[in-house]
Structure 1
Amino acid sequence: MKTFEAGCKAYHAANSELEAHYGSEQGIEIRNKVPHVDLSLYLDLSNTPHAYALPGIAAAQKASLDEQGSDFTKKYEAFKNRTEMLVQARYQAFCDALGLLGEEMGAEYEFNTSGPLDQRIADVLTKGDLLRKTLLDGFGYVDLLDLESSFSKGFFTVTGLTKIKLYNDLKLCSQIREGGIRISAEERVRLGFHQE
């Protein structure tokens, strides 16, 4: 079974590959928008062949511009396609790693059964935030709000909980803490309040 640590390594490898791609000679050229006078002439010539600045252009120069422009367009398209592929690969690696983190936090939640349910969920989210921030992408946030998020999917898959059931239990925990509800001893045990 894949671990969150392995997921992080895959994400960082994908991110490094993308950064190397952006840092390539062509990447710097495109990112910095290095002006290509010949390319500008080619675009003028191909888009507006009757442009006032081009009537006296020689046939040899036109052929050279066609060749240079065509080559540049092919290189640019190849660069753009590779960029899209690498961005998608990095995003997939990120989602996979976040899903694995959710699974590990779900397993930890299932293993650690002592204490109130709301505190256990808070501990899961706090630790998940910290692990994502320090090991994955530097952004310290995980949630159980969005069922489509990778972390939530991993967590709910392992625990077998549903969002509605979890939120109803969290609401009960809140009401118990505020003293606004009386519940049975069995429910107190289920929610982890029997030790308090």
Structure 2
Amino acid sequence: MVIRLRLRIVLQPGEEGRGRPMVLPLDFRRHFISLIKTLAGTSGLAARFTLEKPGYSPYVFSVEFSKIIDIVTRQREITARPPILVTISTGLFDVMTTFSNGAIAMKGRETVLGLYLKDIYLLPLKKIQTGEQEFRIAGHAVFRGVRHYVDGSDVGELEEAINTHLATKVRAQRGGLIINPVRVKK
């Protein structure tokens, strides 16, 4: 049985910016990677950030905006309504414990981009009761094809990249577990 543990972190601007739209850099993701590193602190998990080739990540995360108001590509800015939600997902209890403890220690404090950590929620486990399951990617996903990164324009190439990635990851983490190929729906 595979368990997927999920932690949701609620971020919002300080008192002076509360309730007003926020302007963030379009490359906001790197700031949230910095937040992830901060949450990991000095744990064993944090050591992977110093490795040249850290291998597969034991977690994934997504950044969700309450509402995107505007995207100005020339200025490389995005205007969004707070709060911002960061969801971290892992199948490893020690990784979830590290992130949970890091978030609890930062509650009420400023994190990245002038945002304060307001709330922390452990999300309930999702129970999979059928042989087939539909998953949605909440944030960005990067998949490597044979010669380049896959942009999603060729569904067959995307399916092959996902299946190759999953097979490699499952083999590394679970040994003999067998998964059926993934089909992509647009």
TM-score by length of 2: 0.27
Structure showing the higher helix proportion among its residues? 1
Larger relative contact order (C-alpha < 8 A, sep ≥ 6)? 2
Query: Looking at CA atoms only, which structure, 1 or 2, has the larger radius of gyration?
Result: 1
TM-score by length of 1: 0.26
Structure showing the higher strand proportion among its residues? 2
